[in-house]
Amino acid sequence: MNIEIRTADVVTVLIYLVGMLLAGFYFARKNKTTEDYFVGNRSFSGWVIGLSMLGTIVSSATFLALPAAAFILDWRQLSVNLVVPFIAVIAVIIFIPFFRRGNLTSAFEYLGDRYGQIPRMYGTVSFIILQLIRMAQILFLVSLVIQFLTGISIVWVIIATGVFIGIYTILGGIEAVIWTDVLQAIILLLGGIICITWIVWDVPGGFSAIIEMGQSFDKFSLGEMRFDLNERTFYTVLILGIINWLGIYAGDQNMVQRYASAKSTREAQKATLLYSAIALPMWTLFFLIGTALFVFYQVHPNAVISQLESDQILPYFIFSELPPIVSGIIISAVIAAAMSTMDSGVNAISTVTVVDLMKPWLSKNKSDQYYLKSAHRIAAVVTVLVIMGAITFSQIEKESMNDISLIVTSVFGGCLMGLFLLGFFTNKVDGLSAVVGMTIAVLFNIYLGLGLLGVLPEPWIIGVHSYWVGAMVNGVFIVVAYTMGYIRKGKRKKDLTGLTIWNKERIK
């Protein structure tokens, strides 16, 4: 469904987009080495990194899919994020010092130091696949909004948006990514606040009426408080959150690259605490927007709503209810949410491809300029792949995109979280033990994935919800790898100094 284009909205969005493009060209002049391109010469303050983390992790899936999930169901998917403050404390105390040691650039350099090259390659490839899927999903979501604004075919919107984001990311490197993420995080917060304020203003009785009606429809529920592997109960989603956020804080390249870009360990720790302090209230805000939208359309019925997909409801409200310029600011916020996640992902994939694949394997002993030019080319290829993935998303049937995101993370996430945690917290697991555990866990992951797709005969399928796959795969890895490590305890020869919490002499 097309909405009438308003000149003021278009101008507002264009001003924002031109600003982002100019930032890319500005920072392109500063990228003389791979150290500049990948970590900004490790010179950023904590508040800059913290807001950049916020812009990266809080994507257009936040701005569109979280309100959609709250609109059609309740707040149960917020449970995924309730653990963030607790995981952040662990990251500050344990994870960040590990990644700050030795001027690491990639999270997977640690896996190489700890276990050897096979786990490092597995981590790198898994990260690349997951990031490509996530970025394609996010590009598709933001393209829905732009399609509403322009009426242009979704395919052409995806192509144009992807190319635009790719240009300033390819040119500007991590400095462009971080500084534009800061601005995008601020715009995102502003957009959310404007949105909820406007809805509350238009509902008779205001905020108290939204709370009262939301409660009457059980819209604030965090899910059923029972343990059931086959349902999205509170405990199912909470455990998924623990697995998901441990994986992000302990080994997601987007986070680790920001740890590495800070000018000191203390600044990296400040950044993580700042991000974690803002992120949970922000997610809550967007669930509240979804509930408020539900109440709004109960009070002001609109036949169009029943014709829309859940992820289109907030964009429809923005275009149909908000005045020009205000709606333009919120459109910019939605676009900003996608851009901040996509630019980080493109740069991160470029980084790990050069650092973890090219330097040790594919193109050894080349000049720094060779690797810098390769990083630009890789970023361009990644942009094309993401555009193709987003077009694929636009052609398939789906639930709320947030639901798809959770399923993808569980099914394709593999045992990365287990690899990092066993590396940090135990001396017993050596490289061979990790490889054996990893192999069995990946085979188990494939088996569960085939079951979810319905490929296997019914008697062979384990009846668990797809959300549990990540927890089960990581659990299998931890049990197998630790058992193998215990059996091989007399054969371990690698010096683990500085690589576990029990051998911290080299961690600074």
- How many domains in the chain? 2
Same domain, 268 and 345: yes
Question: For 140, left (φ over 0), alpha (ψ -120 to 50), or beta?
Answer: alpha
pLDDT at 411: 59
Does residue 343 lie in a domain region?
yes
Are residues 336 and 267 both part of a single domain? yes
Listed residues 358, 387, 413: the one ending a domain: 413
Same domain, 490 and 444: yes
DSSP 389: H
Question: In terms of Cα–Cα distance, which of 475, 399, 476, 464 is closest to 233?
Answer: 464
Residue 349 has a pLDDT of 93
Do 173 and 283 fall into the same domain?
A: yes
Per the domain annotation, does 66 fall within a domain? yes
Residues 363 and 419 in one domain: no
Q: Do residues 201 and 294 both lie within one domain?
A: yes
Domain span at residue 351? 7-413
Distance between CA atoms of residues 366 and 351, nearest Å: 16
Domain end call among 369, 396, 413: 413
What integer pLDDT is reported at residue 293 of this predicted model? 93
Question: Are 409 and 429 found together in one domain?
Answer: no
Condensed to tens digits (0 to 9), the pLDDT of residues 31-81 reads: 778 888 888 888 889 999 998 888 777 665 677 778 988 998 889 888 888
Burial annotation 241-255 (CB, 10 A radius, 16+ → b, else e): bbbbbbbbbbbbbbb
Please check whether residue 73 lies inside any domain of the structure. Answer: yes
In this structure, the answer to whether residues 334 and 455 fall within a common structural domain is no
Quote the tokens at residue 87: 């995981």
User: In this structure, is residue 2 part of a structural domain?
Assistant: no
CA distance 240 to 471: 7
pLDDT of residue 6: 72
Asked whether residue 1 is assigned to any structural domain, the reply reads no
The CATH number of residue 113's host domain is 1.20.1730.10
| Separation of alpha carbons 123 and 405, rounded Å | 19
Low-confidence residues of the chain: pLDDT under 50: 400, 402, 506-508
- Per-residue pLDDT tens over the stretch 394-432: 877 655 454 555 556 655 667 888 999 999 898 889 899
pLDDT at 508 (0 to 100): 44
Q: 235 and 370: one domain?
A: yes
- Kindly give, in sequence order, each residue whose CB lies less than 8 Å from that of residue 496, ignoring residues fewer than 6 positions away: 114, 427, 502, 503
Whether 381 and 456 map to the same domain: the answer is no
Residue 306 forms part of a structural domain: yes
Q: Are residues 406 and 442 in the same domain?
A: no
